[in-house]
Structure 1
Amino acid sequence: MQKIAICVSGGGTNLQAIIDAVANGTIRDTKIELVVSNKKEAYALERAAKAGIETACICPKDYADRETFGKEMVRIFDEHEIDLIVLAGYLVIIPEILVQHYRNKIINIHPSLIPAHCGMGYYGLKVHESVLATGNKVTGATVHFVDEVADHGPILLQKAVKVCEGDTPETLQRRVMEEAEWHILPEAIDLIGQKKVTIVNGIAHIAD
């Protein structure tokens, strides 16, 4: 049984997609062991509580430095024997100590087709504002493994989404979530749980 922890900062729509996918069997042999947020007011924590999932709030500002914050994250994930950490709308740069301790065991969902519209400063609506400002006709979402660089690391899954005439950042954000994010993030978790993913020379490979 794969035990996962999900890190969130906001409303938790991707968290809900994962909860639903575990419940309906789309994600197999997996238990959501813990949901962690950096914000006490995050609605995602309410979603987790309603589903009977243990929650924790670990705010970087409560710690002397990033290393101490990272050590606390490592401690709680180790304590729960987590196999995979899922960043689902988590607006915190992961401390290096956590990346190193859980190398190739942390994945992130980003609302663009990496390497476009990603990196420091590209989060939330800012991503979709950038897509519209550059006149892209296609955008999408990416699931990738996390390394020490923001929105970097081996790409696991991507799904394209059409940009429509008259789109606003809000309408585009919603379409990317509905057509891409809520599908490929559960799929990625299932693939990893079924041991179908290997990383060779920085490239993620999926077995048939």
Structure 2
Amino acid sequence: MLNIAVLVSGGGTNLQALIDAQNRSEILGGRIAVVISSKAEAYALERAKKAGIPTETLIRKEYSTQEDYDAALLRILGRYQIGLIVLAGFMTIISDNVIRHYENKIINVHPSLIPSFCGAGFYGLRVHRAVLERGVKLTGATVHFVNEVCDGGPIILQKAVKVLEGDTPEILQRRVMEQAEWILLPKAVALFCEGKITVHNGKTKIREDSI
């Protein structure tokens, strides 16, 4: 059984999607072993506690250097024998050192169809605001592996979502969550835990019987 760490900073809606999928036995071969938050007041911690999942709080400003913070994070991950890290709205920098330690074992969900509206500065409502300002007709979500390039890791799954007349960033954010993020993230985690994703030359391949 693969141990999964979910890293959060806020409300934890994507965490809840993973918890719900786990409760429906949709994530075979893996389980959420710990939820790590960058904020002590994050509601995601309450979601984890209600589900009986251990929690840890790791606040960047409590560490004088990035190296000290990295070491603390790696200690927690090691203690829980983590085999997969899921970034679910985690707003603290993951350093190259941690990324190399868990190469192709860190998954992130981004609220757009990468390579559009991604990279430095594109997160949360900023993404959806940019989508509306550009006037595109389709947006969506992408689940990808994390590498040293912001939002640049191998893409695992994507799903398109229509942009509708009258959308606000908040309305569009909710639709992207409901129609894409909450579907794709548990599916990608399940595929990983079942050993159905391989990475070659910066691209992923998913076993055809899994799609």
Aligned pair 1:158/2:141, yes or no?
no
Q: TM-score, normalised by structure 1?
A: 0.98
Q: Which residue of 2 aligns with 1:19?
A: 19
The alignment's C-alpha RMSD in Å is: 0.7
Q: Which residue of 1 aligns with 2:202?
A: 202
CA distance in 2, matches of 1:114, 1:92: 21
CA distance in 2, matches of 1:33, 1:66: 25
CA contact (8 A) 1:85 1:105 kept: yes
CA distance in 2, matches of 1:62, 1:152: 29
Q: Which residue of 2 aligns with 1:34?
A: 34
* Local SS of the residue matching 1:83: strand
- The residue identity in structure 1 corresponding to 2:106 is I
- The residue identity in structure 1 corresponding to 2:86 is V
CA contact (8 A) 1:35 1:48 kept: yes
**Any idea what the Cα deviations from partners look like across 1:131-163, whole Å, max 9, x if unmatched?**
000001000000000011111100000000000
CA distance in 1, matches of 2:131, 2:65: 34
Q: Which residue of 2 aligns with 1:175?
A: 175
Q: Which residue of 2 aligns with 1:137?
A: 137
Structure 1's consecutive aligned runs of 4 or more residues displaced over 4 angstroms after TM superposition are: none
Quote how far apart the aligned CAs of 1:92 are.
Answer: 1.6
Q: Which runs of 5+ in 1 are unaligned?
A: none
Q: Which residue of 2 aligns with 1:70?
A: 70
CA distance in 2, matches of 1:160, 1:187: 15
Quote how far apart the aligned CAs of 1:61 are.
Answer: 0.9
- The residue identity in structure 1 corresponding to 2:134 is T
Q: Which moved more, 1:76-85 or 1:64-73?
A: 64-73
Q: Which residue of 2 aligns with 1:58?
A: 58
Q: Which runs of 5+ in 2 are unaligned?
A: none
Matches within 5 A, 1:92-131: 92-131=92-131
* Alignment length (residue pairs): 208
Quote how far apart the aligned CAs of 1:200 are.
Answer: 0.4
* Local SS of the residue matching 1:19: helix
Quote how far apart the aligned CAs of 1:29 are.
Answer: 2.4
- The residue identity in structure 1 corresponding to 2:117 is H
State the percentage of identical aligned residues.
57
CA distance in 2, matches of 1:29, 1:146: 21
- The residue identity in structure 2 corresponding to 1:96 is D
CA distance in 2, matches of 1:48, 1:203: 32
CA distance in 1, matches of 2:146, 2:67: 17
Q: Which moved more, 1:128-137 or 1:25-34?
A: 25-34
Q: TM-score, normalised by structure 2?
A: 0.97
